[in-house]
Chains A and B, each alone.
Chain A
C-alpha cells in the first residue's frame, strides 16, 4: 500500500506527495499529458523532440542540467505515445532547486535556435541508433501503420520519418509548448522524506503563479474496427526470419485490461510459459518468442513476436503460433496456471514499489489514468480474473480479421 496526499493549485496543477522517511533522496516526477498521439500527422516525432528541447534552457535558467548536477542531482525523461515524463532525484536538503528548475521550464523555454538545431541532429542520430542501425530495429515502425489506419498510434514516438524532425521550426516548437505544456496539463509528484505542508508551500511558491493555458483538445481519431486480416512482407539483412502478429485489444481503463495482460503472461512470461516451453524448447520452431501488450491508454495492441529457426518454414512457424492461440480459445486453462501468472504479477508489483523514484513515477502514471489510488487497487483487478475471462477474451481478440502480420524476412530467402 502506497500512501499519499493529493491537492490541486488554483492554476490546475495536481500535486501528489508520498512520504518515505528512510530515503536520503527525494524524487520529483512531472508528467505532462502529451505524447505522440497528440501530434499532427505531418509533424510526427514532435513530442519526443520537444522532450530534448526541455533540457536546452528555460526563460530564466540558461542550462537545466548544470545547476542540478551542482547540488548532487540527476534527471532524465521519456516520451511515449501517451505522455511525456520528466523525473529527477536529488539530496533531500536540496529539494528546492528541483522546484526552481521544473517551474521555470513550465513557465517558458527560451526557444533557442541553437538548441533546436543541435537537438534535431541528436534525435536523428537516436533514430539511427535505436531503429535503423539495429537488426529488426524497425519492426514497430512497420507494424504500427499496418495495425492502425486512423489513430495516431500508427506512428512510433520517434516519428514516421526523419524528415519530420529535420524540418521542425522554432515556431512549431513554440506552438507545441503553449498547446501542451501547462500547469493544468501536468501532474507533479514528490516522494521522499518530506512533509505535505512543506511541499504545498514550495509548489505555491514556484508553480503557483504560472498561468493556466488553453490546452489543445483536438479529438484523437478513433480507430475503426478492423474487418480484414492485414499482411506485410519486408526483406532485410538479418540472420533469421521473423514474424510479428498484432491484435487489437481494449484500452487501459477497460475492465478486461488486466485479464488480457495475463493472457500475454500465460503465453510468454517466464521460462515455464507456453510459447517458450512448447515452441522454443520442445519443438524448436523459434529461437526466441514473446507475447506482450502495449499498455497504451487508448485501444492497444496484443503482440506476438518471434524469430524463426533457420530450418523451419515461415508458414509452419505461423501455424504453430495459431495453434497455441486456438488452444487458449477452445480450452479453459488450468487454475494452477492462472494462479502462477497472478503470483508473478503480485511479485512484480511489489518489486516495483522498491525505490523512491519508482513510487513517484507509478503515482503519476495512475493519476494520469484518473486516480493515483488505482496503483493500490491494481492488484485486486488481476486477482479477480477467472479462467472463464481468459477464454472469453482470447475469443474476442484472436480473430483472423483482427490480425495484422508482419513477415520480416532474410534477404535472398528461398
Chain B
C-alpha cells in the first residue's frame, strides 16, 4: 500500500456537470402561464401562485402584506378555522408571503392529498372575504410582532437602512409605523386585491410528480376568467438616498451594534451585475470571504459579517451587514473600508479568484439539486422576467472573468463617499 500523503489535496476535477432545463411551460385558457418542474420520483408537491402584488404597489403601509395574509382568513365558502383544519388535516403547508415585488401563495402537500386541498386554495385566491373580525385579530397579532421586532437591533438597522437607501417615501422603502396597524381598512384590502390578485398578474409554478391528474386539477380550478385587471403601467421613481453619511439609531443597554453599510446599485438586468456578483463573493459573499477572514477569523469582532448584491424588480442595492460588539463598532466599520480599498488598489490573486469561481459554480450546482430548489431559483428570476438562460450567462461569466475586470468594477462602484452607514445600538 502506498504511503498516504495527508499534506496534499486529492486531485480536483472541474465542475462541468451543472445541468438545468427551463421548465415546461403550458398556458391555461385564460392566459395564466404554468411552469412545470417534473420529477416523477417525488411524493411531495409544491405549487406556487406568484402575483405581481408586492409592497411596492401599495398606496399606504401594510396593505400588500395584510391583503396577502388575510387571503386564508375566510372565503365565500370556508371560514378561517375550516381552512386551517383542512390544511392541517392533510398534513399540508400553506405559506403566504409578500416581498417588495411579488406576493405568493405556496402549497406544499403529498400528491395524494392535492384533490382535497386545491379547492381550498382556489377559494383563497378567488373568493377571500377579508372578514372584519379576522382582520382585527390579525392586525392585533401583527402589531404585537412589530413591537417585539422593534426591540431587535438587527431589525432596527434593516428598517432604517431601507429608508436611508431609497428615501422615506419610496416604493421600496420600509415605511410602517405602529399607528399604521390601526388605520388599515377592509376596503383598502379589497381594492388592492381586485387590482393585483388577477389572472393577468399571476404565474403558477409547480414542482414534483406532475401527473395528468395534477395538471387536470389545476386546469379545472384555475382556467376560467375569474378576474382581469386593467394593466396600468407601474411607474417607480429613482431612489433618493439620504445625504447623511452616518446614521445612528441609538438603543441603550444593548451589548452589540447592528451595522448596515451600502448603496443603491442595480439588478440582474445590468451588464455589470454578474461581474459584481463575483466581486461580492470575494468581498463578503461566503464563509471564506475577505470580510469574514479579517473581521471574524482574524479580529474576532463578530459572529458573522457578509455582503450581498440584492436584485429587485426595478433596481438593486449592495449591502454589508453585521452584528458586532459595541466597543469595536467603529473599528469594524473601518475594516470594511480597508477591505474595499484593497479591492480597488490590488489585483485579486489567481488562487483566490479560482477558489471563488469554483465555490460559486458549486453553489449553483447545489441550487439546482432537486425540483424544489430549482423552482425556487426560477421564481427568484421571475421578478426580472428572466429564465435559466441567465444562469448559462452567469456560469460563463464566472468561468471567464479576469482579476482586471474585478478591479475595474471595484473602482467603478465602490467609492467610499457613495456609501451610507446605518448603525442600531451603541457605536
Residues of chain A whose beta carbon lies under 8 Å from any beta carbon of chain B: 22-25, 59-61, 65-67, 69-74, 89-91, 93-94, 96-97, 99-100, 103-104, 107, 117-126, 128-130, 132-135, 205-206, 209, 237-240, 269-273, 277, 280-281, 284, 287-288, 307, 309, 336, 339-340, 343-348, 350-351, 354-356
Q: Which residues of B contact A288 (CB under 8 A)?
A: 141, 144-145
Q: Which residues of A contact B140 (CB under 8 A)?
A: 284, 287
Q: Is the CB of B302 within 8 A of A350?
A: no
Q: Is the CB of B325 within 8 A of A128?
A: yes
A58: nearest chain-B partner, CB-CB: B6
Q: Is the CB of B88 within 8 A of A271?
A: yes
Q: How far in angstroms is the closest Cβ of chain A from B61?
A: 20
Count how many chain B residues have C-beta atoms less than 8 Å from C-beta atoms of the other chain. Answer: 73
Q: Which residues of A contact B145 (CB under 8 A)?
A: 287-288
Q: Is the CB of A356 within 8 A of B302?
A: no
Q: How far in angstroms is the closest Cβ of chain A from B359?
A: 4
- Cα separation A183 to B108 with both chains bound (whole Å): 40
Extra pairs beyond A72-B359, A134-B152 (11, CB < 8 Å)? A60-B7, A67-B9, A74-B359, A93-B13, A96-B11, A130-B303, A237-B253, A271-B84, A287-B144, A307-B144, A354-B370
Does chain A have a CB within 8 A of B423?
A: no
Q: How far in angstroms is the closest Cβ of chain B from A366?
A: 20
- Known contacts A120-B300, A129-B256; is-contact A25 B152 (Cβ 8 Å): no
- Cα separation A69 to B356 with both chains bound (whole Å): 7
Does chain A have a CB within 8 A of B217?
A: no
Q: Which residues of A contact B12 (CB under 8 A)?
A: 70-71, 94, 97
- Cα separation A74 to B150 with both chains bound (whole Å): 34
- Known contacts A24-B18, A347-B109; is-contact A122 B300 (Cβ 8 Å): yes
- Known contacts A205-B4, A307-B144; is-contact A343 B15 (Cβ 8 Å): no
Residues of chain B whose beta carbon lies under 8 Å from any beta carbon of chain A: 4, 6-7, 9-13, 15, 17-19, 39, 41-44, 81, 84-85, 87-92, 108-110, 137, 140-141, 144-145, 147-148, 150-153, 253-256, 286-288, 296-303, 323-325, 354-356, 358-359, 361-363, 365-366, 368-370, 372-373
Q: Which residues of B contact A347 (CB under 8 A)?
A: 44, 90-92, 109-110
Q: What total of A-B pairs shows CB separation below 8 Å?
A: 203
Q: Which residues of A contact B90 (CB under 8 A)?
A: 343, 347
Q: Which residues of B contact A65 (CB under 8 A)?
A: 287-288
- Known contacts A277-B81, A348-B91; is-contact A94 B359 (Cβ 8 Å): no
Give 8 nearest A-B pairs by CB, closest first. Answer: A72-B362, A121-B300, A347-B91, A96-B10, A271-B84, A287-B144, A60-B6, A270-B88
- Known contacts A104-B6, A119-B300; is-contact A343 B144 (Cβ 8 Å): no
B253: nearest chain-A partner, CB-CB: A237
**Which listed residue, A25, A69, A237, A287, touches B355 by the CB 8 Å rule?**
A69
**Which listed residue, A118, A284, A336, A354, touches B137 by the CB 8 Å rule?**
A284
Q: Is the CB of A74 within 8 A of B301?
A: no
Q: Is the CB of B91 within 8 A of A122?
A: no
Q: How far in angstroms is the closest Cβ of chain B from A397?
A: 23
Q: How far in angstroms is the closest Cβ of chain B from A24?
A: 5
Q: Is the CB of B4 within 8 A of A209?
A: yes
Q: Is the CB of A66 within 8 A of B91?
A: no
Chain A CB count within 10 A is highest, among B19, B85, B323, B366, for B366
- Cα separation A205 to B6 with both chains bound (whole Å): 11
**Which listed residue, A93, A94, A121, A340, touches B89 by the CB 8 Å rule?**
A340
- List 12 interface pairs A-B (beta carbons < 8 Å), by A numbering: A24-B17, A60-B7, A61-B6, A67-B9, A104-B6, A118-B298, A128-B323, A277-B84, A340-B89, A346-B91, A347-B91, A347-B109
Q: Is the CB of B365 within 8 A of A125?
A: no
Q: How far in angstroms is the closest Cβ of chain B from A290?
A: 14
Q: Is the CB of A270 within 8 A of B303?
A: no
Q: Which residues of B contact A132 (CB under 8 A)?
A: 255
Q: How far in angstroms is the closest Cβ of chain A from B106?
A: 13
Q: Is the CB of A100 within 8 A of B256?
A: no
A75: nearest chain-B partner, CB-CB: B287
- Known contacts A125-B323, A350-B110; is-contact A97 B18 (Cβ 8 Å): no
Q: Which residues of A contact B286 (CB under 8 A)?
A: 69, 74
- Cα separation A356 to B150 with both chains bound (whole Å): 38
Q: How far in angstroms is the closest Cβ of chain A from B379?
A: 17
Q: Which residues of B contact A66 (CB under 8 A)?
A: 288, 355
Q: Which residues of B contact A307 (CB under 8 A)?
A: 144, 148
Q: Is the CB of B366 within 8 A of A125?
A: no
- Known contacts A129-B323, A280-B141, A339-B89; is-contact A24 B355 (Cβ 8 Å): no
Q: How far in angstroms is the closest Cβ of chain A from B18?
A: 7
- Cα separation A119 to B356 with both chains bound (whole Å): 24
Q: Is the CB of A70 within 8 A of B10?
A: no
- Cα separation A355 to B373 with both chains bound (whole Å): 9
**Which listed residue, B81, B151, B254, touches A239 by the CB 8 Å rule?**
B151
Q: Which residues of B contact A90 (CB under 8 A)?
A: 362
Chain B CB count within 10 A is highest, among A23, A125, A343, A350, for A125
**Which listed residue, A59, A100, A287, touches B9 by the CB 8 Å rule?**
A100
Q: Is the CB of A97 within 8 A of B9?
A: yes
Q: Which residues of A contact B10 (CB under 8 A)?
A: 94, 96-97, 99-100
Q: How far in angstroms is the closest Cβ of chain B from A412?
A: 14
Q: How far in angstroms is the closest Cβ of chain A from B47?
A: 14
Q: Which residues of A contact B297 (CB under 8 A)?
A: 118, 122
Q: Is the CB of B84 within 8 A of A356?
A: no
Chain B CB count within 10 A is highest, among A91, A107, A205, for A91
Q: Is the CB of A128 within 8 A of B256?
A: yes
B355: nearest chain-A partner, CB-CB: A70
A92: nearest chain-B partner, CB-CB: B17
Chain B CB count within 10 A is highest, among A71, A126, A344, for A71
Q: Which residues of A contact B150 (CB under 8 A)?
A: 239
Q: Which residues of B contact A205 (CB under 8 A)?
A: 4
**Which listed residue, B11, B39, B300, touches A125 by the CB 8 Å rule?**
B300
Q: Which residues of B contact A94 (CB under 8 A)?
A: 10, 12-13
- Cα separation A61 to B15 with both chains bound (whole Å): 23
Q: How far in angstroms is the closest Cβ of chain A from B142?
A: 10
- Cα separation A271 to B297 with both chains bound (whole Å): 43
- Cα separation A123 to B10 with both chains bound (whole Å): 32
Q: Is the CB of B369 within 8 A of A351?
A: no
- Known contacts A94-B12, A125-B324, A129-B303; is-contact A73 B362 (Cβ 8 Å): yes
Q: Which residues of A contact B152 (CB under 8 A)?
A: 134-135
A119: nearest chain-B partner, CB-CB: B300
- Cα separation A124 to B297 with both chains bound (whole Å): 13
Chain A CB count within 10 A is highest, among B91, B254, B354, for B91
- Cα separation A79 to B244 with both chains bound (whole Å): 42
- Cα separation A60 to B9 with both chains bound (whole Å): 10
Q: How far in angstroms is the closest Cβ of chain A from B424?
A: 11
- Known contacts A125-B301, A209-B4; is-contact A356 B323 (Cβ 8 Å): no
- Cα separation A72 to B253 with both chains bound (whole Å): 42
Q: How far in angstroms is the closest Cβ of chain A from B345?
A: 23
- Known contacts A128-B255, A270-B87; is-contact A91 B362 (Cβ 8 Å): yes
- Cα separation A60 to B89 with both chains bound (whole Å): 54
Q: Is the CB of A356 within 8 A of B17?
A: no
- Known contacts A65-B287, A119-B300, A344-B91; is-contact A355 B358 (Cβ 8 Å): no
- Cα separation A118 to B152 with both chains bound (whole Å): 26
Q: Is the CB of A72 within 8 A of B288?
A: no
- Known contacts A66-B288, A281-B137, A348-B91; is-contact A24 B358 (Cβ 8 Å): no
Q: How far in angstroms is the closest Cβ of chain B from A215?
A: 23
Q: Is the CB of B369 within 8 A of A74?
A: no
